[in-house]
């Protein structure tokens, strides 16, 4: 196992993904972790992440320097390298010339373990305003750029490595090879972490945790909750009861389709609860998106709690929390990994329910969850289902949510997904959906003037939703989508396409 110390870098998840891609398990932990806790975890290596702070600032993040006397290999990246150098007696100062973006790396020592198989000259991605001006005793320079004399360093005997650039980003083409070298040549890791091994260990852990008690699971039909439910079912079978709440904010005929798929393929014990009227009544006249979320969340919890009370002696609650949910919900020294939003999957359990959480996927990324779903033999229609927000179509309707407006958006959404699938793009996209705007525009249909609704189409590519780019869909496909929506959905006379990336925009509109 590899431990990644979070110093607040925007690239922490990328580091973890690169390690996981090498089939080595890793965890991101805060710098407040103690040396004793690290020792008990017995990692094969430690990676110190980058971060926005300077090590000489008063409140800059620090980790117990005792980690450098534990005999564990350490790789410091950017701020992590500077912290290691400073902690071991070197000096870091503000650079005369900051370095951001591409740089030309000159490797001095290709015999060094980290640079074996790497060309003598290679591009790298820099992002720093400080520089190392003096190395600690025993360290040597292994790479430089025109602006940064100490772009990489090593203390070979202690297996301490430092990189001033970011090997985890795509802009450092040989970065993956460098991380691979650290994992296998330096740390001696084995590429043994697979979804098969994860499933085996997770099942054993669930069985040990739950024992002969009962567990309740909120099931939405999304890939996260479906895989979680399937994994828990594999562990404890009929001790699990799933609750599916139909809030009336789902896609066209979604509840009916999911009922068939979930019952047929997962063989779960599921209770379907139809409370559409309750949600729509509570949302009447509400336009503020945060109020919508709170109303929907509260009613869902009330309904879920009422249903849960019918299951006597239940002691556990299963949740499909993923690793990005956990990471985004933790603060990290004012850096980009600081809290962005509160997740409904993290800390959303009412205290009065007094159920203990079981979150078997909380250390997995979305692509790993899909691979786990295939390992558990779930059907493709569940495994490759695009993410759908907990509040449903309510947050894809800008303004008031009414039965009529839901009907319009459902019809638009159905056409959009039908065309995306027919064009072969569904599995290539992270998400594709429609948004009903609180605007109307003038149009001409036949010989008649119209004044109807505008819908926006949103399609993005991403690996984990932390960042996303708008999808460059073919113009012919976009034209076909627009033509069908305007011709087939009464009440819409204009379609626009969202070409915003995340950041600065979010994926969803509300």
Known catalytic residues are 78, 166, 168
Residue 397 backbone class (left: φ over 0; alpha: ψ -120 to 50; beta: rest): beta
Strand ranges (E), 9-90:
26-29, 45-48, 74-77
Alpha-helix residue ranges (DSSP H) falling in 130-244? 175-181, 195-210, 223-236
Q: Which residues pair with 134 in a beta bridge?
A: 91
Name the burial class of residue 27, with classes exposed (0-12), middle (13-18) and buried (19+) by CB atoms within 10 angstroms of its CB. middle
Q: Residue 92 to residues 78, 83, 130, 387: CA-CA distances in angstroms?
A: 12, 9, 7, 44
Q: Give the residues across from 357 on adjacent strands.
A: 317
Q: What is the DSSP string of 127-158?
A: EEEEEEEEPPTT-EEEEE-SS-S-SEEEETTT
Between helix 276-283 and helix 289-309 the angle, nearest 10°, is 150
Token pair recorded at residue 494: 């204009």
CB 414 within 8 A of CB 432: no
SS3 call for 431: strand
> For the chain, first and last CA: distance in Å?
38
Number of neighbours of residue 340 by Cβ within 10 angstroms = 13
- Burial 133-147, CB ≥16 within 10 A → b, else e: eebbeebebbbbbeb
Return d(Cα 505, Cα 458) in angstroms, integer. 12
Distance (Å) of CA 260 to CA 253, 263, 382, 402:
11, 5, 12, 27
Nearest residue to 145 (alpha-carbon basis) of 173, 121, 179: 121
What is 93-132 written as a DSSP string?
EEEEEEEEEEEEEEES-TTSGGGTT--SEEEEEEEEEEEE
Report the distance separating Cα 260 and Cα 263, nearest Å.
5
Name the CA dihedral angle for 330, 334, 336, 339, rounded to a multiple of 10 degrees.
Answer: 30
């Amino acid at each position: 196992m590899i431990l990644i110390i979070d110093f607040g870098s925007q690239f922490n998840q990328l580091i973890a993904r690169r390690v996981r891609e090498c089939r080595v398990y890793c965890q991101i932990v805060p710098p407040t972790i103690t040396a004793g806790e690290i020792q008990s975890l017995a990692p094969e290596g430690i990676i110190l992440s980058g971060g926005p702070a300077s090590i000489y600032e008063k409140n800059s993040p620090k980790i117990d320097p005792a980690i450098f006397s534990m005999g564990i290999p350490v790789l410091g990246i950017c701020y992590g390298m500077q912290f290691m150098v400073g902690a071991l007696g070197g000096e870091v100062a503000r650079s005369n010339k900051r370095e951001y973006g591409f740089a030309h790396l000159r490797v001095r020592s290709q015999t060094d373990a980290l640079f074996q198989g790497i060309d003598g000259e290679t591009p790298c991605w820099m992002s720093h305003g400080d520089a190392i001006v003096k190395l600690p005793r025993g360290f040597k320079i292994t790479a430089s750029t025109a602006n940064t004399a100490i772009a990489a360093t090593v203390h070979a005997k202690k297996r301490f490595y430092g990189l001033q650039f970011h090997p985890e980003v795509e802009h450092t083409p040989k970065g993956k090879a460098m991380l691979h070298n650290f994992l296998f040549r330096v740390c001696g890791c084995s590429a043994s972490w697979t979804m098969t091994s994860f499933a085996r260990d997770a099942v054993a852990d669930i069985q040990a945790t739950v024992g002969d008690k009962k567990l309740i699971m909120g099931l939405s039909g999304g890939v996260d909750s479906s895989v979680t439910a399937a994994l828990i079912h594999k562990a404890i079978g009929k001790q699990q009861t799933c609750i599916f709440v139909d809030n009336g904010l789902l896609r066209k005929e979604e509840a009916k389709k999911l009922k068939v798929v979930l019952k047929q393929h997962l063989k779960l014990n599921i209770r379907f609860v139809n409370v559409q009227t309750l949600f729509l009544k509570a949302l009447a006249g509400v336009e503020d998106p945060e109020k919508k979320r709170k109303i929907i969340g509260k009613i869902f919890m009330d309904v879920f709690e009422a249903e849960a009370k019918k299951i006597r002696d239940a002691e556990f609650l299963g949740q499909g929390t993923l690793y990005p949910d956990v990471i985004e919900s933790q603060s990290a020294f004012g850096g980009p990994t600081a809290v962005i939003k509160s997740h409904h999957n993290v800390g959303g359990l009412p205290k009065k329910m007094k159920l203990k959480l079981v979150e078997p996927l909380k250390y997995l990324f979305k692509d790993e969850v899909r691979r786990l779903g295939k390992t558990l033999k779930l059907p493709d229609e569940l495994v490759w289902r695009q993410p759908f927000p907990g509040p449903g179509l309510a947050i894809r309707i800008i303004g008031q949510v009414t039965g009529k407006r839901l009907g319009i958006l459902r019809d638009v959404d159905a056409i959009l997904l039908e065309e995306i699938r027919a064009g072969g793009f569904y599995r290539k996209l992270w998400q594709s959906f429609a948004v009903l705007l609180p605007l109307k525009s003038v149009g001409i249909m036949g010989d008649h003037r119209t004044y109807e609704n505008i819908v926006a189409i949103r399609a993005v590519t991403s690996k984990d939703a932390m960042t996303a780019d708008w999808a460059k869909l073919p113009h012919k496909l976009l034209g076909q989508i627009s033509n069908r929506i305007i011709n087939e959905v009464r009440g819409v006379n204009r379609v626009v396409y969202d070409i915003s990336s995340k950041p600065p925009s979010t994926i969803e509109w509300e």
